[in-house]
Amino acid sequence: MLKAVIVDDEPKAIQGLTWELSNFSDDLEVVETFTEAEKAIEYLNSHSLDCLFLDIEMPTMDGFQLLEKLDKKDFAVVITTAYNEYAIKALKNQAIDYLLKPIDSDDLEETLNRIKAYHSKTNNSNKFAQILSSFNKRFNRRKITFNTDGKLIFLEESEILFVESDGNYSSIYTTNNKKIVITKKLKEVNALLPEDHFFRIHNSYIINLNKIKEFLKSDGYVVLENNHKIPVSRQKKSDFLDKF
């Protein structure tokens, strides 16, 4: 009998997945469930298991952060997420699987088969580490996570128009005209953004290079989508032009 643990901040999601697993497999038993990442870590570091069903989008700690805090990773991990990203598809082609919320019965049955196949192979721990590293990099290039007001906000690169400094805070302006204030300095935000798509064009601004409509050389401004005008500092002008 394979032993499974479910970690998800939504109790209804846990209940639904537990019910599905009990109906689709006589070979797998859910031995514990957790809605709090910290309690899950304590349990996982002191008990053996065969499979972890892990939600990614959790309020205090995301799934990848949880995995990094584990002393051992000698079990299959099934990602449960509402985001159907290319990175997840890449992950699906390897030994560890994912379930897209709301969970489809056919997908769950296939996942259970993958779990069994995973445990029939050797060097699982090393293979898992490689897969996790690959998935984490690809996932983070698609979704960027910001912590604000006690919750995590996930934004795609294409949703971010520019970021403006406000002392110890930063304001993220999105393509649908939303303003999101986060408790991070601009340099901290800059470290989160992929440098091939974003550029700190001024001490007070980071722009999405893919959203530029015009560069007004004489005025020293770029015009972004939605007609936002952002100043280009003299010190940054040369590096900015090198991007093109």
All structural domains of the chain, each given as residue ranges with its CATH number in brackets, are 2-143 (3.40.50.2300), 149-241 (2.40.50.1020)
Lay out the sheet containing 198-202: strands in order across.
179-182, 169-174, 160-166, 205-208, 198-202
- Which structure tokens are listed for 13? 């999601």
Q: Cα–Cα distance between 107 and 162 in angstroms, integer?
A: 38
Burial class of residue 6, CB neighbours in 10 A (0-12, 13-18, 19+): buried
How do the pLDDT tens digits run along the chain, 244 residues long?
A: 899 999 999 999 999 999 999 888 888 999 999 999 999 999 999 999 999 999 988 888 888 889 889 998 888 888 887 765 534 543 543 436 777 778 888 888 888 888 887 877 544 445 555 555 545 554 444 567 787 766 778 888 889 999 999 888 999 999 999 999 998 899 989 988 888 789 999 999 999 999 999 999 888 899 999 899 999 998 888 888 887 7
Work out the number of other CB atoms within 10 angstroms of the CB of residue 225. 13
- Which structure tokens are listed for 167? 């002392």
Give the pTM: 0.51
